[in-house]
Structure 1
Amino acid sequence: MRNWENPVMLACNTASKKNLPSCIFLIVFIIVLCPVVMSQLVPDSDADCLLKFKDTLANVSEFSSWDASTSPCQGNTANWFGVLCSNYVYGLQLEGMGLTGKLNLEPLIPMKNLRTISLMNNNFNGPMPQVKRFSGLKSLYLSNNRLSGEIPADVFQGMPLLKKILLANNAFRGTIPSSLASLPMLLEVRLNGNQFQGQIPPFQQRNLKLASFENNDLDGPIPASLSNMDPGSFAGNKDLCDAPLSPCVPSSPAIPVVPVSPVDPKSPTPPPMGKKNGSFYTLTIILIVIGIILVIIALVFCFIQSRRRRHCLSDYPSAGNERIESYNYNQPTNKINKPAVSHKRRGASTPDPGGRLLFVRDDIQRFGLQDLLRASAEVLGSGTFGASYKAAISSGQTLVVKRYKHMNNVGRDEFHEHMRRLGRLNHPNLLPLVAYYYRREEKLLVTEFMSNSSLASLLHANNSAGLDWITRLKIIKGVAKGLSYLFKELPTLTIPHGHIKSSNIVLDESLEPLLTDYALRPVMSSEHAHNFMTAYKSPEYRPTKGQAITKKTDVWCFGVLILEILTGRFPENYLTQGYDPNMSLVTWVNGMVKEKKTGDVFDKEMKGKKNCKAEMINLLKIGLRCCEEEEERRMEMREAVEMIEMLGEGEFDDDFGSMDHRGSHSNLYSSTLLEDDDFGFSMNR
């Protein structure tokens, strides 16, 4: 290289010997610094793409950590907020940050390792971004924004790895993009709460586990490939038909039109009508009569359907609405506006035919149904039981209102009695029922709002690194206490809880767990309960063989929850109907134990576990013992609670084979395949 091509070398060559050390220092400084600077300025690098994406956002106060002088990832640790790392940037998770403006994902296209984009619960507007250039994307979460307009048919074309697409609660319209139905790896799609029109395209994916289309303007027959989905996934579309909904009504036959040619006065008089023409007109009259009858039948059917829907939401909330749309319960205004009746005795509310909220607690400020209708509200989610809404009423109270459409297993009096029974329950680990609303077609249950959302959200939807071992053990102990209380207070129920899963456990400000959706099986319709309650996904439920659920079923579900908390893995079999051992979390954990890979079972995001391996193993054994497929070998809930309470208190022997004097069994694990050396690390504390 010529000297004039390098100013530094030219300066050094012309410098005197006195300045030579300074020149050498300058050269070394540039050699060391240049790679660092250049690494931040490489076009289309992860950092460059993320900073360009940041520039498209309107409010960036939360992005102070996005600094060009640092790298987004340091190994598996993220230096930048909202970035998911695995030695490189594989995901972007910016949820619930109030981000606004038009969503532009084009700056992220050069990121070849990007696998997940989650921008849920923001205020982005504008059209659906062009995502088909993200060929390596596996998950796209855009629910609960203000995106609108028609989605191009080919928007998902060329995305062979895409598994999960969440576009719920936006304002999309037009037809569902056909490219969505052709994605080979699709597992979950949520399009509910939009304004899609037309027919549902034929989804042919064999592994599709969840498809949600409710609360749109779709019509026509449901594709046969989706006939095994939850009927609730298609609710709120007045013109959808076929399985799993009602069969489609055949359309009326067209009335043949007989062409009439103008009469020429000079033409000869036509001959009298013969037998052939007479038969033709007779057939025409018959077809007209049949058509009229079919039209009448269709009108009667539509009238019945409209009567059924009259008590549902007049429209469903969607992203962008600041308020929840009014419930239309067909009640006179003067009745709705009457104040709720106050009762001094807890659980003393009596059935009210006027359509008011019935309170089961006397330690909460009263409010009326109209207060809920006027409240500022947002959609929290749509589960297997019904949709949930967060409502902030004028008095300052924040509540959760949950709608149930499948509570028709008992009559009015029995339902009121069961709600009062639930209202009398009082335990620190139960989310208490505040009030309820009864209609034959649907019910509302009102509870207090917990700011920390659900356990499932912390374990799976967001980064679970905040849940260390101590916190997880605290949650499990709290759940165990709540279940023990239900077993004691509801001894006559076959399954005191019946729907134990991480999404039915909410956490208060101190991360204390509270059970929800408990003891609802007696009022839940049998078909809906059998299809969707977790109790009916246990191995003992075999209706074809006459096997039914028992109290040990709640023990099974509790054991699965323990394994979920320890492993950080979602129980995939909860997404299917019935018990599938091939998708069971229990099967996976047992397989890892037999292969002596138990060190890989525990959630790698769980902190604070280095000095607690023995306790973790003990809890894992309790979980597996609760998940014995044979009920006779499965422990009782009382035993599980006692053993969990002793964790951390030094009550167990090293081999976890005996209990102290408070325990009821010795050598409790002699029948299992688990031994201490199966777990891949020492049992020594």
Structure 2
Amino acid sequence: MRFRSSLSNDSALRNWGNESNLCGWKGLLCRNGQTFYGLRLENMGLGGKVDVEALRELSNLTSFSVINNAFEGPMPEFKKLVRLRALFLSNNNFSGEIPDDAFEGMRRLKRVFLAENGFTGSIPKSLANLPRLWDLDIHGNGFEGNIPEFHQKGFRVLNMSHNQLKGQIPESLRDKDRSSFAGNKLLCGKPMIPCFNYSIPPHPKVSKSLTPDPYSPPHEKGKNNHILIIVLVVVAVVVFASIVALLFIHNHRKKRLQPLTPGRKANSQSSAGFKEGGFSLQDLLRASAVVLGSGSFGSTYKAMILNGPHVIVKRFRNMNNVGKQEFIEHMQRLGSLTHPNLLPLAAFYYRKEDKFLVYDFGENGSLASHLHGRNSSELTWSTRLKIIKGVARGLAYLYENFPGQSLPHGHLKSSNVVLDHSFEPQLTEYGLVPVMNRSHAQQFMVAYKAPEVSQHGRPNEKSDVWCLGILILELLTGKFPANYLRHGKGGNKADLATWVDSVVREEWSCEVFDNDIKGTRNGEGEMLKLLKIGMFCCEWSVENRWDWREAVAKIEELKERDSADDEYSSYVTEDDFSFSVTN
């Protein structure tokens, strides 16, 4: 309560002190609904002072987040909170230099998010020396100078982009993706362009143009010309990618668009919609863009709006059979959905040839990238359980809001589950079946791979449950489902569910589990319960397959640890898996 008294605009915390149960106070994080461990005060418009001395008296405080608020001034002395494991300050107005010793003594700190503030000066060496650091995001500030040598290994998140850093990237970070350093024009070395070390110091009035450095030794000028060519080629590629990302509006630059809030009835002439308080079409036009990839639905771009959010723009080329008014009304309905486990639809744009959907940016990537990507990370059992519970809640919300549709999601798979900074999942590409071309949906959408499609030629209300089951098995085994790769109708028995079924029948053991969670202490019983849930969701027979209510209820009952009277060795037998995933 003393900490709250130091804040301004604290109306979001009005239930503090009114609830008898501390864990019922808004923004307080508790384990098992009983033990306080953190503050998550995000998107609340809070300002004022962060009273570190008050926080210091919270002996159990290990996580502190004030993302997307209005705090300003220098960074508080968080080093006094030596038990802190996670610190999230992104999207505020903090500013100034961070002292070199600002993180000294915080040996437990694993996650530091300082993005989109006004920090300047050098990256603190005490930050680089944190022994357990595995997530670091400082993008969108004014950090300058050389990057210090980071001694940590196996960063899960690393983003230093869009600062004023310069010089050679230290050896310990040269294996990272170049996107981690984008927007720092004076950085060089792997994974960026090569750099050359000169013995002659730079002249104080060296030109900032792309012409060769006049103070370079004569034998290096040829190399500089070579670098100039590389730089020009890279710039040309980036410009081209940006142009491609914005082609969808080049014929409509001069149109004035009516801002639309989700649920508001659109003007019949409108071809685009945006949430109020978001961004304008012109903001999107001016944004820099990066091509993220091209899939069965079309291309995907990441757009960085100046002084605004990062967003994902998805271009769909297979909605040509839907009319303008039908498209607008359906997008407005999707835009009106609000749930913590749905990635919000921020905007939409209609053209006869193709359609564009703009989503909020999932800063931690997709579940697929963490399970199977080049930079895949170790996901603990507790994290995987958190993810699947969030997925189930998001799917349940869609079922409740689209009771008349057989496929409220239709395309549920690991690449369509994005994760935020705390690994909370959000579903994307949901609710698109009514506006997709039927032939394309049948060929590519995951729900059409369900067994009943091969039997009856069409999905039903349990086909999304089958997708949930495949996702559960993927999360537990770490194996990529062949189901995602098959084109056309489902029914192929050489899939993940069949493999799991065969292993369980032969050994009824924990051999199916991913190596990262195999041997989880006091958790094998709960893991096997989830495996059982996944297999019941994948039942070949629709009649025997669980419906969404039963699946969600069983998932919600799961715990991180086995209870004392529910030991894995005593309760799990082959009879527990006596059902069929094959015809």
- Fold match, TM over 0.5? yes
Are 1:625 and 2:536 matched, yes or no?
yes
Deviations 1:516-552 (A, max 9, x none): 000100000011111110011111112xx54310111
Query: Aligned to 1:601, which of 504, 509, 512?
Result: 512
Counterpart of 1:575 in structure 2 is 485
Query: Aligned to 1:509, which of 421, 425, 428?
Result: 421
Report the CA distance shift for 1:642/1:321 in structure 2 as closer, same or farther (over 3 A): same
User: Shift of the alpha carbon at 1:589?
Assistant: 0.8
3-state SS, counterpart of residue 408 of structure 1? coil
Conserved 8 A contact 2:452-2:491? no
Query: 2:321 and 2:248 mapped to 1: Cα distance?
Result: 23
The letter for the 2-side match of 1:490 is: F
Counterpart of 1:672 in structure 2 is 579
Counterpart of 1:334 in structure 2 is 254
The letter for the 2-side match of 1:631 is: V
The letter for the 2-side match of 1:596 is: E
Conserved 8 A contact 2:342-2:394? yes
Query: 1:583 and 1:441 mapped to 2: Cα distance?
Result: 37
Query: Aligned to 1:350, which of 266, 273, 298?
Result: 266
3-state SS, counterpart of residue 633 of structure 1? coil
Deviations 1:296-348 (A, max 9, x none): xxxxxxxxxxxxxxxxxxxxx9557684444154636432xx3x4235x6421
Counterpart of 2:210 in structure 1 is none
The aligned runs of 1:111-510 (5 Å cut-off) are 122-123=191-192, 318=237, 323-325=242-244, 326-327=246-247, 329=249, 331=251, 333-335=253-255, 338=256, 340-343=257-260, 346-351=262-267, 353=269, 355=271, 357-359=272-274, 361-362=275-276, 365-510=277-422
User: Shift of the alpha carbon at 1:354?
Assistant: 5.8
Report the CA distance shift for 1:318/1:519 in structure 2 as closer, same or farther (over 3 A): farther
User: Shift of the alpha carbon at 1:571?
Assistant: 0.6
Aligned residues: 374
Deviations 1:476-535 (A, max 9, x none): 000000001111110111111000000001111211100000010000001111111001
> TM-score, normalising length from structure 1?
0.49
User: Shift of the alpha carbon at 1:606?
Assistant: 3.0
Query: 1:636 and 1:651 mapped to 2: Cα distance?
Result: 27
Conserved 8 A contact 2:343-2:360? yes
3-state SS, counterpart of residue 434 of structure 1? strand
Conserved 8 A contact 2:178-2:192? no
3-state SS, counterpart of residue 401 of structure 1? strand
Query: 1:354 and 1:413 mapped to 2: Cα distance?
Result: 9
Query: 1:603 and 1:616 mapped to 2: Cα distance?
Result: 11
User: Shift of the alpha carbon at 1:372?
Assistant: 1.3
Query: 2:363 and 2:252 mapped to 1: Cα distance?
Result: 35
Conserved 8 A contact 2:407-2:431? yes
Conserved 8 A contact 2:241-2:291? no
Conserved 8 A contact 1:481-1:641? yes
The letter for the 2-side match of 1:624 is: M
The letter for the 1-side match of 2:259 is: S
User: Shift of the alpha carbon at 1:351?
Assistant: 4.0
Are 1:647 and 2:554 matched, yes or no?
no
User: Shift of the alpha carbon at 1:655?
Assistant: 9.2
3-state SS, counterpart of residue 356 of structure 2? strand
Query: 1:332 and 1:527 mapped to 2: Cα distance?
Result: 30
Conserved 8 A contact 1:386-1:404? yes
Deviations 1:595-627 (A, max 9, x none): 206322111123782210000000000001100
The letter for the 2-side match of 1:611 is: N
Counterpart of 2:457 in structure 1 is 547
Query: 2:579 and 2:464 mapped to 1: Cα distance?
Result: 20
Deviations 1:613-647 (A, max 9, x none): 00000000000110011111110110010001001
Identity over the aligned pairs, expressed in percent?
Answer: 46
Query: Aligned to 1:518, which of 430, 433, 439?
Result: 430
The letter for the 2-side match of 1:412 is: K
Counterpart of 2:139 in structure 1 is none
Report the CA distance shift for 1:401/1:351 in structure 2 as closer, same or farther (over 3 A): farther
The letter for the 2-side match of 1:523 is: V
Conserved 8 A contact 2:268-2:325? no
Two-structure CA RMSD over aligned residues (Å)? 3.8
3-state SS, counterpart of residue 647 of structure 1? coil
The gaps in structure 2 that reach 5 residues or longer are 1-145, 154-170, 196-228, 569-574
Query: 1:480 and 1:573 mapped to 2: Cα distance?
Result: 20
3-state SS, counterpart of residue 466 of structure 1? coil
User: Shift of the alpha carbon at 1:97?
Assistant: 4.3
User: Shift of the alpha carbon at 1:553?
Assistant: 0.7
Conserved 8 A contact 2:469-2:535? yes
> TM-score, normalising length from structure 2?
0.57
Q: Which has the larger radius of gyration?
A: 1
Deviations 1:176-214 (A, max 9, x none): xxxxxxxxxxxxxxxxxx99xxxxxxxxxxxxxxxxxxx
The gaps in structure 1 that reach 5 residues or longer are 1-58, 67-79, 84-91, 105-118, 127-170, 173-193, 196-316, 657-667, 675-685
The letter for the 1-side match of 2:448 is: Y
Query: 1:333 and 1:324 mapped to 2: Cα distance?
Result: 13
Conserved 8 A contact 1:390-1:399? yes
Query: 2:564 and 2:457 mapped to 1: Cα distance?
Result: 35
Conserved 8 A contact 1:541-1:549? yes
